[in-house]
Amino acid sequence: MTAFLQTLIFGLGTGAVISVGAVGLSLSYGVTRFINFSYGELLTLGAYLAFVAVSLGLSLPVASLLAMVVVGLIGVVLARLLFDPILHRGFLSLLVTSVGLAFVLQNAVRMIFGSSPTRFPLPPLRPWRIGALIVPKVPVLVIVIAALAMACVHLLLRYTRMGKMMRATSDDAALAKASGIVTGRVLATTWFLSAAIAALGGVLLGMTQIALQPVMGWGFLLVVFAAVLLGGIGNPYGAMLGALIVGLGIEFGAAYLAPDYGHAFAFLLLVLVLLLRPKGLLRGSF
């Protein structure tokens, strides 16, 4: 029972990290309709910038917020320079550009920070002990932070004017524009939010993986894609649900079937769901 509860906690924790990454990707896809392969590098940037900010004396929460803002702005600048001018050129141009940007960002991180792993600035935390049950603190912390972040995203999308405009643009960009929505502003806000959430995802990933490496975001991207596809591409709520399922699949698969194939079970789940519901669990829009 203890082992089951621990695996459940870790599964929720893993799902929480994935959900933050997946929501950001879903937000940008929902509005722009293209999958940004450089998204993983924004996770990496977020983790490294938080590390730098802590090295300069800031606390981790403040450093994380700062990293989110900075990466958000970087996301907007990169999108304005590289993606917005070619949005009309079709899927392939955007895809190749995003892959190229991913390599540039990854190597920029490698050039600045080196290839050797760097420790994420989170002190080791002993678990809580509740009777015979050992409850690790880091995944609980990650779950709480991710839940707060998802709540903020929900409040933004449901109750703010910008959120409504984002939903309208996601549903039908042409109609939204004809209705007077400044889609350029919506796009910029979406890029900012997507990148900022990615940065938060990077911080949470750093908390769970400990060692920061230039390839950490790229390696995590596949799992994020799985969650996004499972939940229904372009739907942030679907991404949250998909992330939870993927996270639990990874941890339970590793704990009860084979430790080396946790990711394989998650993708098996993805394939099974897509066979039954090709568009994912939820409809692909906000």
Partner 1 sequence: MKRIVMLLLALVSGLVMAQGTISIGLLLPFTGQYDWVGANVQPVAQMIADDANASGGIGGAQIRLLQGDTEGTVDAGFTAAQKLINADGVVALIGPTSLSLAGSQQLIVDAKVPMVSPTAGTTALDSFNTQYVFRTVPSDSLGGRAVARAATDAQFLGRDSAFKKVVLMVANAPAMVSFQAPIEKSMTDFGTPLLDSFQFTPDKPSYRTEVQQALALDPDLIVLVATPEDSARVMQAAFQAGYEGTWFVTQDQTTSDYIALATPQLVDGIYGLEEVAAPESAGLYDAFAAQLKAFDGKEPQIFGTNTYDAMNVVLLAMVRAARDGGEITRATVAANIRPVTDAGEGKVVVHEYMAGKAALLAGKEIDYQGLVGPIDFDAFGNITAPFAIKRVVDGAWQTVAIVPAAALE
Binding site for partner 1 (CB under 8 A): 3, 6, 10, 14, 115-119, 123-127, 129, 134, 136-138, 208-211, 213, 219-220, 251, 254-255, 259-260, 262
Min. distance of Cβ 209 from partner 1 in angstroms?
Answer: 5
Q: How far is the CB of 21 from partner 1 (least distance, A)?
A: 13
Shorter beta-carbon distance to partner 1: residue 11 or 280: 11
- Structure tokens that stand for 215 in this block: 């390839």
CA atoms within 13 A on the CB side of 214: 15
Q: Which is nearer to partner 1, 33 or 110 (CB)?
A: 110
CB of 16 to partner 1, least distance (A): 14
Which residues, listed in sequence order, are joined to residue 212 by a DSSP beta bridge? Answer: 118
Residue 133 parent element (H or E): strand 133-135
Task: Give the long-range contacts of residues 172-175, CB within 8 A, separation 24 or more.
Answer: 173/31
Our CB check for partner 1 shows the closer of 62 and 125 to be 125
Nearer to partner 1, 119 or 185 (CB): 119
Q: State the nearest-atom distance from the C-beta of 256 to partner 1, in Å.
A: 9
Nearer to partner 1 by Cβ, of 223 and 233: the residue is 223
**Closer of 134 and 162 to partner 1 (Cβ):** 134
Q: How far is the CB of 97 from partner 1 (least distance, A)?
A: 27
| Cα dihedral across residues 250, 253, 258, 261: positive or negative | negative
Are 7 and 255 a contacting pair, CB within 8 Å? Answer: yes
Q: Phi and psi for 70 in degrees, rounded to 5? A: -65, -45
- Which secondary structure element, helix H or strand E, spans residue 187, and what is its range? helix 183-209
33: left (phi over 0), alpha (psi -120 to 50) or beta: left
Sign, Cα dihedral of 264, 254, 16, 102? negative
- C-alpha to C-alpha distance for 28 and 42, rounded to whole angstroms: 13
Rounded to a whole number of angstroms, the minimum distance from the CB of residue 5 to partner 1 is 13
